[in-house]
Copies of this chain bind each other. A is one copy, B any other.
Amino acid sequence: MPARKQKLTSMDDIARLANVSKPTVSRALKDSPLINPETKKRILSLARQHGYSVNWNARKLRTNRSNTVAVVMHLPPQASETASAPFFFQLLNDVARGLWIRHHDVLLCAPESDDPYSYESMIASKRADGIIFFGQGPGDEWLRSLARTRVPFVVWGAADERAAYCTVGSDNFKGGMLAGKRFAALGRSRVLFAGNRAHPEMEQRRQGLGIGLRAGDRKAEISDLETSDFTLETAHRLMRGYLARPGAARPDAVFAGSDSVAMGVILALREAGVGIPDETSVIGYNDLPMAQYFEPPLSTIRQDTHQAGSLLVEKLFQALEGVKPASATVPTHLVIRET
């Protein structure tokens, strides 16, 4: 811990102390090869000694780069729901790591609105160089429209079939198919899909489910439980309502768009006295760390968030360099536990 005498704010101050000019200090601190190693050492030590560090804002202004990436996530409005969306925090963890390694700062944002303009101005004002979106949300028109601007961004979510923008996402289709095949193999025929089909990735999962089921010999029918969000609580409530409908046929299999939803569904099924997995099989999505400790341990579709995080970062950096990155997908596996 250096002993500071007083606040030295400017590069000029250090320059004076070192008997050199401001540009020399600038270069020295940047470890430029132009500067004599001795001078460099002297300057560095002086700067350290006086607790000086370059003004980041001045640098950003001059270089016109902020070295900052905005991460936009839909934080749940209620704190209590946070744990129902742990998947995004896991992803945040991995993405942040990737950015730090590349010496970029992480600016955490929640969408003020899904107005492309607010994101444009975020870039125009140089608060961030690029944006990583976590999830498309219901409908992705705004993303398509954002893609028509100069804003560099990548999205975690379902691939856009028109490829208007770059996405990284799990292979939703295959994930759904794996679940469908599994159900078919178990001889299930009354399948319920619990999720929100307005979200592109959810729709893809559902499509895959259909194909997977049809791959079996038997015919199976799929019904839907639309959930407005992906929290355990909502899923629980809606599923309870679903089961209470008069004359409702109980599903013998449920594929949920996320593990949280799967857990909510299981709670409701249990309350209704449905045996799991005897009467009804359940498969979730994401393989949240909690999934294996749930009772009964949850069968689910797993994807590698670590890889997802690096891909997102990598693609964004491509975008920053002006090349249009190709979308990518991370593989999915079925993890069979006890549901």
| Chain A interfacial positions (CB closer than 8 Å to B) | 1-2, 7, 51-58, 60-61, 66, 71, 75-76, 79-84, 86, 89-90, 92-94, 96-97, 100, 105-110, 116-117, 120-121, 124-127, 145, 150, 232, 263, 267, 288-290, 293-295, 305-306, 309
Complex: A267 Cα to B58 Cα, angstroms:
54
Which B residue's beta carbon lies closest to that of A127? Answer: B56
Q: What is the interface of chain A mostly: helix, strand, loop, or mixed?
A: helix
Q: Are A107 and B110 in touch, CB under 8 angstroms?
A: no
Complex: A110 Cα to B98 Cα, angstroms:
12
Q: Are A61 and B57 in touch, CB under 8 angstroms?
A: yes
Q: Are B61 and A124 in touch, CB under 8 angstroms?
A: no
Complex: A127 Cα to B104 Cα, angstroms:
12
Complex: A217 Cα to B263 Cα, angstroms:
42
Q: Are B90 and A83 in touch, CB under 8 angstroms?
A: yes
Complex: A93 Cα to B73 Cα, angstroms:
10
Q: Are B124 and A51 in touch, CB under 8 angstroms?
A: yes
Shortest beta-carbon distance from A156 to chain B in Å: 14
Of the candidates B1, B54, B80, the one whose C-beta lies within 8 Å of that of A145 is: B1
Q: Are B56 and A125 in touch, CB under 8 angstroms?
A: yes
Known: A96-B108, A293-B263, A294-B293. A125 touches B79 (CB 8 A): no
